[in-house]
Amino acid sequence: MSEGLNKVYEFLLAAGTYYLATVEGDQPRVRPFGTVLLRDGKLYIQTGKVKPVSHQLAANPKAEICAFMGGKWLRVAGELINDDDRNAKVAMLEKMPALKSMYSPDDDNTQVLYFQNATATFSSFTEAPETFSF
Ligand SMILES: Cc1cc2nc3c(=O)[nH]c(=O)nc-3n(C[C@H](O)[C@H](O)[C@H](O)COP(=O)(O)O)c2cc1C
């Protein structure tokens, strides 16, 4: 597993909240997210298929997330790819147990997506940017 991917995962977990940007036509859309899972060398997030964010990603998988913590910010730009593997949904619900009151692996709503063609950049006002691809 790449060192960069681990670093991104740990940062997102520690930050707790990140902001997910999608596109709808020519309009950017952004909202707070918190779900994150590292599985099979892929960085996953979770949403509900009924949400506008899910519809936007189905039409255009290009997405970017941003999190800020301790004077550093992280941006991950790439494509978010749907994964209907039940095991991936189970793993997400185990990693983020608070989801279990709203979602189950078999509810036809739970959706997990992983980053593909991703570029992650850590930035700060004091250090040179650090970039990883996965
Ligand atoms: C701190 C925080 C974390 C959140 N994490 C998630 C998440 O991981 N997945 C999700 O689908 N919604 C999450 N939400 C709720 C979404 O922000 C909310 O449903 C939003 O309206 C979805 O965007 P949309 O309306 O464009 O579909 C979170 C909300 C907050 C306040």
Q: pLDDT of 77-133, one tens digit each?
A: 999 999 999 999 999 999 999 999 999 999 999 999 999 999 999 999 999 999 999
pTM above threshold 0.95: yes
- For residue 50, how far is its CA from the centre of ligand 1 (angstroms)? 12
DSSP structural state of residue 3 = H
Q: For 7-16, what is the mean pLDDT?
A: 98
- Euclidean distance between CA atoms 102 and 20, whole angstroms: 20
Which of 131, 5, 123 shows the shortest CA–CA distance to 66? 123
In this structure, are residues 27 and 51 in contact, taking their beta carbons and an 8 Å threshold? no
Residue 60: per-residue pLDDT: 98
Check residues 1 and 13 and name the one with the higher pLDDT. Answer: 13
Residue ID of nearest Cα to ligand 1 atom 7: 33
Residue 69 CB burial class (10 angstroms; 0-12, 13-18, ≥19): middle
